[in-house]
A = this chain, B = another copy of it.
């Protein structure tokens, strides 16, 4: 079974991207934390190993990786958050903890029940379904 990093390498090569030490560590970090993080969190996490890593590079990489579906993106609390794409590769949604960004996967998609949206001629392109709250762990810490 291929590791996440190996899969990432393949997809990057297939899209004309090169692997660099910073990209490798950025991806490793995202695979490891396994939750939605902001660019700032990425910067802080990699500051030790890459003191010169700048925000422009972080944003460029996060955006590039999102475009080849290595990452999932969502707009939360006024900023973009990114996370390693879920391995399954199949369509799903998340419960997202507002405090730590951790997610739980929801295996149902409401769109499956809402096909009759067509009557008005609206052409559906995509959708967003996210549930926000506090995960069990953050409830303990903050209440």
Contact = CB atoms under 8 A, between A and B. Distances in A.
Contact of A122 (B95, B126, B128): B95
Given A95-B117, A110-B110, A117-B95, A133 B129 contact: no
Interface in A75-123: 75, 78, 80, 95, 97-98, 104, 106, 108, 110-111, 113-114, 117, 120-123
16 contacts: A75-B75, A75-B78, A95-B117, A110-B110, A110-B113, A117-B131, A122-B131, A122-B133, A122-B134, A123-B133, A124-B131, A124-B133, A125-B134, A126-B132, A126-B133, A127-B129
Contacts of A114: 106, 108, 131
